Each structure stands twice: as C-alpha cells, then as structure tokens.
Structure 1
C-alpha cells in the first residue's frame, strides 16, 4: 500500500506544466473506434484511468503505437467484437468508469456493443441513464442481463432523432454525439453539455469528416455521414490541475508559474479564484501567481456571504469545489461551498476539521468555511484519500500545514494526476512516497 509523506509549511517556487486533460482523453481515445484510419493524439496524460482505457481498446483489436511519453497513434482497422463477451473485458471494463465511452462509437460503426456495469469513484451515484436514453432515441435496443451484470446493445439501424437530454452530462453528450455521427439522417441534441473537452471532441470529429454544428452551445445538430477518416489531435491542458496549482500557490504562499494553460478555455475558473482574493496575472499563455501572505474573500454587493456553487459549463466545474473548500480555510472571510451535483463529495471535510480548519458541514451538499486568515496554520495528520479530487485537496492542505502528514490510498490521486509527487518536488515540496501498512486508517 503506497502513501505520501508530506512535511508542510514550506513555500514553493518555480514553474509547473499541467498534464493533458484526463476527461478529454477518455472521450478522444474512445473516438478512435469510429474509423479504421490512423489517428495521432498528443498530450495524453500518463495516468491509470487513461492507460486502462488504452489497454482496453488494444484488447479490442486497435493497433496502438506509443511515439513518445505523451503521443500515441491508434488504428482501429480490425476490431474483435467477440472480445465483449470475454472475462477479460468484464474485469477491465467493470473497473473503469470511462469504459462506457466506447459504447457510442462501437454502436455507430458496428451496430452492437456490450458493457459491464461500470465502477469508479465513491462520489455518489452517477447515473448512466442519459447515455442509454440517448442511444434508445437513435434506435438502439438494449437488455440488462442481471446474471452477468452486462448491458447488451443492438443498434443495427441507427437513425437521427431529436434528443432532449435529461441532464447536461458531459460523457452522456459525448457518447450520443459519437453514436450519431454515423447514424442515418439528422440528430439534434438539446441540453447538450458544452464543456471545452466536448467542444474538442466535436472539432476532432469534424476534422475526421463529421458534420456537427452548434459546437460550444447546448444545441448540437449532427448530420450523419457514411464514414470518418483519420486525423491528428492535441489534448487541452487539464483545467482541474491548473485550478489545483492556483489553490496550492495561495495556500502555501508560493510563487508559481503555471505554463501553457490555454487561458481562453478556462471559463470562469480564474474568476472564482479572484473571488477568494487570490491574485495572479496572465503572462503570454502562462499564469503567474505571486507569493501572497493573505487573501480576502469578496462579499456579494448586499454584504451576504460569498457562495461558490457548481453548475454545468459555462458554470463552475464540480471537480474544483473540493480545492475551493480547502483554499477557503485559510482565506480572510467566510464562504459557503454548495456542491449540487454529487452527494458525497464533501465528506472529506472531517479530515480538514481534524487538521484545525473551521468548517460547518450543513448537509451532504453544503459546507460553510470560516476562514482562518492564516492566523492558525493547519496541522499535519494521517488521512486516507476518498476520491481523486478530495485526494488532491488533502494534498494541498498537507503542503500548507505545520508538521508531517501521511495520505493513504494515493492510488485514488494517481488515477487523475501524473507523477504528482515528482512534479511537486521539482518546485520545492517536501513529499515522498512511502510503503505503508494501512492498518487502522
């Protein structure tokens, strides 16, 4: 069992390069199944969830070549559809929530697919209904087999349709878009997610020969085409990492430059950090964060407490709320964090309270943070990471705390962040990987 041992309370300094976007990678890599031609993808993060998906599509028969640490070519000319019913597919597909993303492209190109019930994070119930309702509207029929825990899908005759999604799910939208690009006729998707990652997917599909209009809005129109060809694609930098590093700099009074951030794709993320009083400046396409002794929370015009809530894009991403909560613990002023989308993402606050933070958990969705204005430092403790984002939030808390912290279950962190300990050490963090006996944690 690996753990991180962190000695906190030390300012960091230097440059850090964000990895490629994990959530975009899962969609883009699935899209290679839509064509027999070669696709080259660069800026792929070297992390568990992405590597598992690459391994899964390789087992399906995709020819995968790694050109460098972050660049691969994929050629899906010979797909083995029998692989779906294998034990290997059940175990690999079931352990990776992102595996649902291969269903849309396979339905579109081959007219059938099967998928084991997916696993993944403990952040509450994530429904897959959006995906399946979308596929059904296009004419797919599927049967859930309770004995094998598999969904079997038949889509031999996909036809364009008007689809109003029941929620603006990013993976749901991406999956339905990939199914629709090769369907007969025109598909209209309303209440579509419009995250930058989804825009990237649509732009890539259009370069491959798809006809998608309305990219960037919540109304997508897709005119089905006969076939798609190869292309090259570069993933965006991971906006969640960029946000994590801004928060880290503020908490640890560090002077950090985050390189090549594609600022125009960050939406309101920078603005929400400004609301917490965090200063930074844009230098070219880099974000420079000076060392700050204090940061003070804005209040609303009527003087009421600042609320930070998640919402579908272009609203604030739920993936950064845990980071915001940690950063607010050392701000001057109070903040209400409202996590609308997932019902157990705030359950790591007990660890922060153990470290000395002043937080009132109002209910599973809301926490009020009373900022300590750095008058009282957090203190190091032993803790376990419940999910990817909470794990990194606890890591940031540990780096700002006095004393030594140990974080167990770091596999959760490493599912989403590549070489995080190595990259943090490079800017001066005192963090090391240890092999720990996890008893009692």
Structure 2
C-alpha cells in the first residue's frame, strides 16, 4: 500500500511552477477526437487522470504520444466502440466522451462516471442538453446509450437549470457539428470552458461567448487538428499559495493567471497574507498575525469548491474562529475529521465547518478521502510536528503533477513509501 510520509514543521522556500489545468485537460483530450487530423496539446500535466484517458483513447484505436508535457493525439483511425465498463467508470471526467462521441459519430455507449465521492453529481443536466439536440438517451444496465436521429443533431436553445461546468462542456462537444445554431443559456463561466472553446475554435469550430453565461455555437461540417497550449491550473496554484502562506518562508509561485484566482486571493488578503502579484507569478511572504475569516464557495467567478479544502489548514493558523460553507458540494467535509486527528480544533455543524486557531498539530496517520482532501492533508502534514503518513494517495496523484518533486525542491521532507 502506497503512503505519503511527511516529516513536518520545516519552513519551505524557493519557487514552484504550476502545471497545466487538470480540469481543462480532462475535457481537451476527449475534444481532440472530434478532429480529422492530429492534435498537439502543450503543458499537459503528468497526472493519473491523463494516463487513464489515454488508455480509453487506445481502446478506441486513437494513437497518442506523451512526453515532456506535450501530448499528440492522432484520431485518424478512431472506431466507435461501446465502453460500458472498465476505465470509463473509474474516472468522472470520462463523461466528456459522451459529448465527443455524439459530435464525432452521432452515437455512443458510455459507462456512468466515477471520480471522487463528493455526494450526488447529477448527470441529468448533461442528458437534458443532449435530448434538446435530438439525442435519444437510454440507461441500460448502468451505461448510457446515446443515439442521434438519422438526420443528425440539430441546433437549439438550451437553458441550464443550474450552472454546471461538466454539462456546459458536454453540450458544446456535442453541438460543434450539429446543424444550425445552439445557444446555451445559464452556461458555466469557468476559465476551463474558455480553454476548451479555444481549442475547438482552433480546430475550426464556431463558438462565441465562452466565459459568459450565454454561449453560441454554429455547427460546422468538420474539424481539423491544431496545436494548443493549456492554461495553468488555478486549483493547483491556489493549493501552493495556501501552502506557501501556511509553511512558507518566502515562496514564488510561477505560471499563474492571477485573474483566475481573484476571489481566492481576496480571501488570503482578508486573512492578512502579504503577496506580491506579478504578471504571471505571485510571491508569498512569510505569513504572521493571520485573522479568521468566513468562506463560502460559489460557481466561478466565486471561490472554487476545489479550493475550500486546501485553504482549511491555513485557517488553523488564524486568530479566532473561521467558518466555511461549501454551497456546491455541501458533503465536501471528509477532511475535517482527519484534521482533528492531527490536533486541529475543527468541527462540522450542519452545512458549516467551524475552524478554530490550532497552534500545534502533531503527525499521525490519516487518509485522503478525495483529491482536494488529500491536498489539505499534505499541507497539514507539512505544518505538523513529527511524522504524518497519508494513505489513499492515488486520489492525490490523480490531480497533482509531480507533487513530491515540487515540494522536495522547496525543502519539504516528503516521500512515497510502500507499507
């Protein structure tokens, strides 16, 4: 069993470079199959989710080469085959193959997605969007069977009942080759959506309004290969910014688009974290005399739900009592009992997490219940005295590129062990 072992209470210094965005790349890889010639993606993070998606591509006959963070995807020999089980189930982002296969072949059979267990993630918004385009959707033995009418998909107006990144991207993937114009209202506005639309437009699609709450897509006959550089990962950036404030002795975080982190940076400033914000980097000064704050997650441009957990250990250093409410995934609280094991004064009351100043954390054995809870425990382990062992590390490796190497370079005592 793999575990991360951290000898904590060592100040970190130096710099860290942020990788390409996980939440972009898991949609860009399925989007690439819509092309009729090779697609080159630059700045691809070397994470488990990427390797899982490449295994799914291989099953479809899509060739790929991945080295030095550059991924070449050649979809010229792709075949439409049913994927009811296996890899497709273990990875939540595999649901983007639904939209991509509809756009490519007008049909698909895809197993229901997995990923981190954060409570219900309704797939019904995706299905509603597909059905509006004319798709017949049936659930047979736990797999989604998607079939277009003979005349193909037809552009339409779709109102999203709630803001959903996944459903917005999936409908875009299906609509880029539909006949006529598709308008998505109440669309998600995340930077990752702009990234996907940019790739598709470079491939020959006609998408306008990505990044606003109304996206217009005029269907095209075909899409071609191109070269595209992925945006930096704002969640990884936020994780290292929180870590730098919690255990840093002056840390430079590089390859950051700070506009993507406005709401998060304002929370750090409210706490009293001193930062120098450059054009594509942020220097975090050693943090002292931090103040407790209230945190609430919202869809972009609000504070990202994915940054709620990495921010929590920093709140343990703030004087007073902080309150955290996740309006997007209220069940995203599994990191709290693990922090308590490390000595944190933290509790869950209804849908609110109460975090009190906890001057002393002590290393123990804890478990990462999901990806961002894992990031939270890594930061807490670096803050704690003694040895912290984190199990279920696969969750962390799913989304953080070279985390051990990046932390070691700043002076952390962290290693992977087998027990």
TM over 0.5: yes
TM-score, normalised to structure 1, is: 0.92
The match for 1:292 is 287
What residue in structure 2 maps to residue 401 of structure 1?
384
Counterpart pick for 2:148 among 142, 155, 159: 155
8 A Cα contact 1:295 1:331, kept in partner: yes
Alignment match of 2:206 (pick from 204, 211, 224) = 211
**C-alpha displacement of 1:263:** 2.0
Distance 2:191 2:257 in 1: 11
2:86 aligned counterpart, secondary structure = helix
CA displacement at 1:435 relative to structure 2? 0.9
C-alpha separation in 2, matches of 1:409 and 1:369: 24
Quickly say closer, same or farther: Cα 1:267–1:28, change in 2 above 3 A: farther
SS at 1:159's partner residue?
A: coil
1:73-152 matches, within 5 Å, as 73-81=72-80, 83-84=81-82, 90-146=85-141, 149-152=142-145
Aligned pair partner of 1:322 in 305, 309, 329 = 309
- Bigger drift between 351-360 and 389-398 goes to 351-360
Contact 2:41 2:72 in 1 (8 A): yes
> Cα gap change, 1:185/1:313 in structure 2, threshold over 3 Å: closer, same or farther?
same
Does the aligned pair in 1 maintain the 2:335–2:376 contact within 8 Å?
A: no
Instruction: Please give the alpha-carbon distance, in whole angstroms, between the structure 1 residues aligned to 2:37 and 2:163.
Output: 31
- The answer (yes or no) to whether the contact 2:154–2:179 under 8 Å persists in 1 is yes
After TM superposition, give the deviation of residue 33 of structure 1 in Å. Answer: 1.2
Report deviation, 1:419. 1.8
Q: 1:171 aligns with which of 163, 166, 172?
A: 166
**Residue 34 of structure 1: SS of its match in structure 2?**
coil
Match of 2:353 among 367, 370, 379: 367
1:384 counterpart (339, 343, 367): 367
Kept in 2, the 8 Å contact 1:33–1:102? The answer is no
Return the offset for 1:63.
2.2
User: What's the counterpart of residue 439 of structure 1?
Assistant: none
**1:52, 1:191 → 2: CA distance?**
31
**SS of residue paired to 1:266:** helix
**SS of residue paired to 1:131:** helix
> 1:164 Cα shift?
0.5
Partner residue of 1:241? Answer: 236
Distance 1:320 1:389 in 2: 8
- Is 1:63 aligned to residue 49 of structure 2? no
Question: CA RMSD, aligned part only?
Answer: 1.4
Give the gaps of 5 or more residues in structure 1. Answer: 298-305, 437-441
Contact 1:379 1:403 in 2 (8 A): yes
The answer as to whether partners of 2:41 and 2:228 remain within 8 angstroms in 1 is: yes
Give the equivalent residue in structure 1 for 2:415.
432
Task: Check whether the contact 1:108–1:181 (CA below 8 A) recurs between aligned residues.
Answer: yes
Q: Deviations over 1:152-193 (max 9, x none)?
A: 110142101110112211111001011111101111101101
Indicate the residue corresponding to 1:357 in structure 2: 344
2:341/2:366 contact within 8 Å kept: no
Q: Per the alignment, in what secondary structure is the counterpart of residue 137 of structure 2?
A: strand
Tell me by how many angstroms 1:333 deviates.
Answer: 2.7
Give the conservation status (yes or no) of the 8 Å contact 2:36–2:222.
Answer: no
Q: What CA distance in whole angstroms lies between the structure 2 residues aligned with 1:94 and 1:283?
A: 41
Instruction: Specify the alignment match of 1:47 in structure 2.
Output: 47
Shift of 1:264: 2.9
TM-aligned CA distance change 1:219 to 1:284, over 3 Å: closer
Correspondence list, 1:174-323, <5 A: 174-297=169-292, 306-323=293-310
1:267: Cα distance to partner?
3.5
Conserved 8 A contact 2:181-2:216: yes
Q: Is the 8 A contact 2:324 2:353 kept in 1?
A: yes
Counterpart CA distance in 2 for 1:333 and 1:217 is: 38
Is the partner of 1:254 in helix, strand or coil? Answer: strand
Cα distance in 2 for partners of 1:115, 1:322 equals 31
Could you tell me how far apart the structure 1 residues matched to 2:68 and 2:107 are? Answer: 33
Counterparts of 2:278 and 2:218, CA distance in 1: 41
Partner of 2:6: 6
User: 1:12–1:249: 8 Å Cα contact kept in structure 2?
Assistant: yes
Matched-pair contact (CA < 8 Å) for 2:238–2:261: no
